[in-house]
Amino acid sequence: MILSGHEIENQLGKNIVIAPFDPARLNPNSYNLSLHDELIVYEEVVLDMRKPNRLRRVHIPPQGLVLNPNQIYLGRTAERTETRGFIPMIEGRSSIGRLGLFVHVTAGFGDIGFCGYWTLEMFAVQPIRVYAGVPICQIFYHEIRGTYTEYCSDKYQNNTDTQPSLLFKELNPECLNDPQRQLPFGIESSRE
């Protein structure tokens, strides 16, 4: 069962945190989350699952930033969320989808207990100009049956920024105990 917008609001501060929260973004059964002002792009021609890939940060200026097709852009929500006792999920807004912009490739499914910002795997069908602060996706909540264990991850839980893939930590367990190998290398900032 999916929570209504009224129930999402009722659960705020109890089992659901959305910060900052704007009542105008509450929908009948979801809440609109907005795009942060920075994106990450991979600089590798071939991405490697077994290692951290080089990244570049790109600032979204006030006049917007054009996303090109056949390129993955990692963004994040401006809002931080926490969820207890419900399964959080995100989906792109239909108005965004009608412009040919996918806001997640596969990772719209969240876990009970997730705390942090949602990383968006943005992919454009054709060139599109995006703007920081635009309501880009919606979060909604499912009830769950049965006992459960809350989400706990050394990779993504309690993140404070956009998260590139950290799959290499699973594929190379030795990275978990080596601080030099935990963070993606080559992150450069760009104010394009």
> What is the C-alpha radius of gyration for the chain, rounded to an integer number of angstroms?
17
Residue type, 32: N
What length does the chain have? 192
Catalytic residue check, 9: no
Report the C-alpha gap between 90 and 108 in whole angstroms: 5
Selecting among 7, 121, 143, 188, the annotated active-site residue is 121
Report the C-alpha gap between 49 and 59 in whole angstroms: 26
- Strand 101-102 and strand 31-34: the pairing is unpaired
> Which positions are catalytic?
121
